[in-house]
Amino acid sequence: MGINLGLITTSFDVIDNRASNHMCGDKVRFMKLDEAIRGNVTFINHSKVVIKGKFMILIKLKDGSRQFISDVYYILIMKRNILSS
C-alpha cells in the first residue's frame, strides 16, 4: 500500500515528521549498500535496533518522476519502513 503525502507517493509504510532518520528493512530497495556503516537507532520508547548499513533508495513521486533519498539506514528487523519528513 502506498502513501500519498503532498508530492510523494511511496510504498514506505510510515512518513514521520518526528523521525530523525530514514530507515528501511527491505534490502532490495537500496541502490547499493555500505554495510560497513554500523550502529544503533534508539526509538522514543527506548528500544534499540541495529543498523546493518546505509545508502540511498529510489522513490517514485506523485507526478511519476523519481527521486533519490540518501542516508537511509538498513535495519534488518524493521517490519515497517520509515521516511522522515
pLDDT tens digit at each of 85 positions of the chain? 344 333 344 455 555 556 678 888 889 889 889 999 999 988 888 888 999 999 998 887 778 888 888 999 999 888 777 777 6
Amino acid at 26: D
| pTM: predicted TM-score of the whole model, two decimal places | 0.74
What is the chain's length? 85
Domain extent at residue 65: 3-84
Report how many domains make up the chain: 1
